[in-house]
Amino acid sequence: MRYGTTIIDDIGNEHPRRNLRLAEMGVLEERLESEPKEKVAQIKSELKSLARGEHEYEKSLADMRAEEKAFLAKAPERKTAFEKTLTDSDAKIRKWSLEAMESAARVEFYEQHVELSYDYELLARTHRMMAEQLPEIASKRRQILDELNEVTDELERAKKEDQSQVMADFRQYREERLKKRNDEKAYLKKLYKEGQISSKAFANEKREKDLAASEDIRSRKQLLPIEMLTDRVRYLKHRLRQDEKQALTVLHSDIADLRRKTPIEISKRFPWVSYLTIPIPGLGQLILGQSVKSIFFFIGTLYAYLIAIPYALGRGNYRGQGLFGLISLAKDASRLDRSVIFMIEGVIAIILLMIAFLIFYQSYRDVHKNEQRMIKGIRINNWFETRTTASRSGFPYFASAPAALVTLFIVLLPIAVTVLISFTNYDPSHQSKFSWIGLANYKQIFLGQGIAGGPFWLITGWTVIWTLLATSLAIFIGFVLALLVNQDRIYGKRFFRTIYLLPWAVPAFITIMFFSIMFSPDGPLTNLLHQLTGQIINIKDSPWGTRIVLILLQGWLGSSYVFLLCTGILQSIPGDLYEAAKIDGATGFQQTRHITIPILLFQTAPLMIGQYTFNFNNFSIIYLFNGGGPFEPSKYGNLAGSSDLLISYIYKLTIEKQFQGIGAAITMIVSLVLIFFTWIGFSRSKSFREEKL
């Protein structure tokens, strides 16, 4: 990059260079391109000597620096001199006044040297601003303080004085007002008794009268001297805090504005700091002068070097070896070590490293961007500006950080582990130590081989049948019930609605367990069936018996929800649709067919898809009703029963029978299918189509 003869500030205005050495270099660089070849060597040597800093300007700058140092060294002397002139005792006012006087002195000093450098111009203007605004802030504070003292004194005096007369007046007013309210209320009651106003209007009016009375009494109370003065004291104390905060913010933003308008000149042309400080986030910010910000990045550095990297290398692990655990899976570790732990800790290490990497990258980008801005001539943010922007644009990151962390470790980590386990031979004979086996689990499942993979297709078939039948039955029942109940000639709608809500309101596990009891051998419903048919039918021992009962039971359980949803939608269908249909001569049946059912279907469709996925995963009903049974070892082997769904099969494989590898592989397949279907359902939903993200 070339120096050029001008620099740009943050607003985009061009400024001439004041650093004469750099300006001269800029001119020479421009000449280098246009001048004939013979002069090139001479220009280059000139540039070289300039780059070494040999210029008159550097000398005057060095002189100025020495002068400035001497001037600043005298600051304590000036301070003691100023202090003698101060009369105010308030600490803050003293501080501000001192600062203002010192600033005034500095303005005088720096203004002589404005032409030398933009830094001095900025200093001069900043101090002028402080010298102007600080005394104002101080005098405002003094004003409020004086008023506060006065009011406090008054309050003290008022408290000592006899208030009985005023209080008596107030009490009398209150009694009168309450009496007036009671009279009004009595009148209202009379109106209500006579039937002139409804009970609702009566209740509303009563509330209104109560409110009006208490409002009047409160405002009257505030006229009492003590109340008034206490209020005033509170108000002034609030002003004292608030005004100061506001005035200082104004001052700081004015200064920030100056910083934006005043450019900076540096001789650096290449953003080397950002590259060199990549390994230590925070250092770059410190070098560029953003010290407070650097503290936050240094915390990130500490995290990376003391937590993330050592953890990934195996230090501070619970049992595992950090990242290496993912490869070795505890193969050569002691007998007690378990592969799962090594795997989980490996995944944790990856997550920690990813966070660390993010910190490194953010820090590098921050430094790099700021350095490039400085080279252009823009002053980078001071702490006040950083804080202001961070509190606005950084808020969403801070706000969602806890949720993101929890999601990362509680949701994504287990998912990642499940994905990894599906590629291992984690089974009963490899509980403690397992190893990578590639896609073998998936192959077993798809080909239906082995003890665990064998029944997969049978179970999948039943799962699909179950999902379709059970959900459709529930939807059908709920639908019909909603249509029946919402006919306008049906009385007792509330009663039916409350009863039909019950299967949804009673926790499903209770009803399922209870039905399970009733269908057990010798259970009430089994006996009932026995009496009705004359045969002993043991539902729980017959595969299709269990399946049919399960479907009926889910119809019973699921219809409530569908019923409620449909009822809600039916009530929201505008009545004029039906009226128009009636005028056109439609019969009641035609109205239902052509108006009600299309609207219902259309509006409930996405929710009904949700019902299908819910039943696909309906673990409770299968597991709690008959434990997935009855068992048919000839078809299903020893691991699954004939009413098991994929989800309960996964549960049995991973939790009960210790075939975690295959269980994880089935989980992966099921999840992918589910994600696909919910995604379809979602992409058709309203919010997605309207792109209201």
Partner 1 sequence: MRKKKEKGLYLSDRPPLTPLKAVLLTISYILLFIYVFVILWPLAQIVFSSFNGSQDQYIRIGGTYEFSLKHFKYLFEETYFLNWVVNTIVIAVATALLTLLFVSFTGYAYSRYRFKGRKASLMAIMLIQTIPSFVGIVAYYTMHSIIAAVIPGFSRQMFLVLIYAGGGIASNTFILKGYIDSISTELDDAARIDGCGNLQVYRLIIMPIVRPMLAIIALWSFIGPFLDYMLPSILLSDPKQYTLATGLYTLITDVRNMHQPVFAAGGLLTALPIIILFIALQNQLVSGLASGAVKG
- Kindly tell me which of 42 and 487 has the beta carbon lying closer to partner 1: 487
- The answer to whether residues 478 and 562 touch, using CB atoms and an 8 Å cutoff, is yes
Query: In the bound complex, what is the minimum distance in angstroms from residue 617's beta carbon to partner 1?
Result: 6
Task: Find the binder of partner 1 among 438, 448, 461, 606 (CB under 8 A).
Answer: 606
Residue with tokens 């001269």: 24
* Of 240, 353, 501, 599, the one binding partner 1 by CB under 8 A: 501
Q: What does the alpha-carbon distance between residue 32 and residue 46 come to, in Å, rounded to a whole number? A: 11
> Binding partner 1 by CB under 8 A: which of 84, 241, 335, 392?
392
If one asks whether residue 461 binds partner 1 (CB under 8 A), the answer comes out as: no
Burial class (CB in 10 A: 0-12, 13-18, 19+), 518: middle
* Residues 643-682, interacting with partner 1 (CB under 8 A): 647, 650-651, 654-655, 660, 663-664, 667, 670-671, 674-675, 677-679, 681-682
Q: How far is the CB of 2 from partner 1 (least distance, A)?
A: 32
Distances (CA, A) of 351 to 270, 307, 342, 362, 476: 34, 12, 14, 17, 47
**Residue of 40, 81, 499, 601 interacting with partner 1 (CB under 8 A):** 499
Spatial contact of 252 and 384, defined as CB atoms under 8 Å apart:
yes
Write the burial class of residue 535 (CB in 10 Å: 0-12 exposed, 13-18 middle, 19+ buried).
exposed
Q: For residue 41, give both structure tokens.
A: 């060597």
Measured between alpha carbons, how far is 70 from 72 in angstroms, rounded to an integer?
A: 6
Region of 16-24, 74-82, 233-241, 337-345 interacting with partner 1 (CB under 8 A): 337-345
Residue closer to partner 1 (CB basis): 462 or 561? 561
Interaction pattern, residues 250-289, with partner 1; x per rule: CB under 8 A: ----------------------------------------
Written as one letter, the residue type at 234 is R
Query: Does the protein bind partner 1 through residue 182 (CB under 8 A)?
Result: no
507 interacts with partner 1 by CB under 8 A: yes
Between 267 and 487, CB nearer to partner 1: 487
Positions 183 through 212 that interact with partner 1 (CB under 8 A):
195
| Residue 69 token pair | 């140092």
CA-based Rg of the chain, rounded to a whole angstrom? 41
410 binds partner 1 (CB under 8 A): yes
- Number of other residues whose CB lies within 10 A of the CB of residue 426: 27
Query: Does 615 sit near partner 1 (CB under 8 A)?
Result: no
Q: Total residues at the site for partner 1 (CB under 8 A)?
A: 105
Instruction: Check binding of 505 to partner 1 (CB under 8 A).
Output: yes
When the beta carbons of 270 and 509 are compared against partner 1, the nearer one is 509
The residue (of 298 and 619) whose beta carbon lies closer to partner 1 is: 619
How many CB atoms neighbour CB 66 within 10 A? 10
514 binds partner 1 (CB under 8 A): yes
Nearer to partner 1 by Cβ, of 42 and 671: the residue is: 671
CA quadruple 270, 275, 280, 281: dihedral sign: positive
Using CB under 8 A as the binding rule, whether residue 415 contacts partner 1 is answered as: yes
Taking residue 215's Cβ as centre, other Cβ atoms within 10 Å add up to 10
From 565, 622, 639, 662, residue interacting with partner 1 (rule: CB under 8 A): 565
| Alpha-carbon span 329 to 343, nearest angstrom | 6
